[in-house]
Copies of this chain bind each other. A is one copy, B any other.
Amino acid sequence: MQSEFFPFIIEDQVVGYTHNRFASHLRKYDDVFIYSENNGGRFGSHLKLNSKLKTADERTRVVGEVIKCLGEEDLIPGIRNELYPVTSTFGSPIFFSLERAAAPYFGIKAYGVHMNGYVEKDGQKFLWIGKRSQVKPTYPGMLDHLVAGGLPHGIACGENIIKECEEEAGIPRSISNRARPVGAVSYMDINGFSYKRDVLFCYDLKLPEDFVPKNQDGEVESFQLIPVAHVANVIRRTGFFKPNCSLVIIDFLFRHGYICPEYFGYLDLLQSLRSGDCS
């Protein structure tokens, strides 16, 4: 429940949210994390970093050591050794960088790039749909749109989508540089101690009819080209798609005219695509 989380504050900015029981595991690391009781201030009870940690590098290093310990205690499973920037909003100064697997335990906003790859044949549109590898640690065997990836520190969205196109679907730069940015979706998801606050930058790429994607990194079991209306039905009637990929595909359905204002709940569904803090 949202009420069990309190804000994580750096330099007077809310950068995340931490579960009160998770925070109790941080108490022994009081040279790094400080818990402040509600003293009537702006933020109420909150977590902050020890004020002697002044620079981003210093914070990244010592927080990283704590995360390593929490990983060994299995409080943060699935350490990836991939750093995420910690900011209050996209593009604002970065306070430090945090292990990707730890980000939801601190309610850090995470940004990703997601791309629908489609083909048009005789005026009908088809989406390339991927089936995730059964050995992936997250959402094994579920369905995805063509390309998706987290946005690591220091790489621009446009450059990242080109890199992910190559790794995930074997799309050469000569094609992927036509991917066009089309907006963003956002959501929040609380599950135990984890508070995900994700913003996904969405891209569309119209692919040549004869192009066949080939996964390069072993994360996709197979790809299939499916008529858009059929994809819409699968999303509506089943839980086969990875949930955040459903949002990105529903956004595609809106923009490409597959959902009409005449349908009941049109505006509610449209608004649900940015139900999280989209900043």
Contact = CB atoms under 8 A, between A and B. Distances in A.
A227 to B, nearest CB: 17
Of A181, A204, A260, most B-chain CB atoms within 10 Å:
A181
A75 to B, nearest CB: 32
Nearest to A261: B157
Interface in A253-279: 254-257, 259-262, 264-268, 270-271, 274, 278-279
Contacts of A278: 267, 270-271
Interface string A114-128: 000000000000000
B255 A182 contact: yes
A89 B264 CA distance: 11
A261 B181 contact: yes
Interface residues of A, number: 32
A279 B267 contact: yes
Of A204, A255, A260, A264, most B-chain CB atoms within 10 Å:
A255
A184 interface: yes
A29 interface: no
Interface in A227-275: 254-257, 259-262, 264-268, 270-271, 274
Contacts of A262: 156-158
A183 interface: yes
A21 interface: no
B264 A158 contact: no
A137 interface: no
A260 B182 contact: no
Of A260, A265, A267, most B-chain CB atoms within 10 Å:
A267
Interface in A134-175: 156-158
Interface of A: 89-91, 156-158, 180-184, 199, 201, 204, 254-257, 259-262, 264-268, 270-271, 274, 278-279
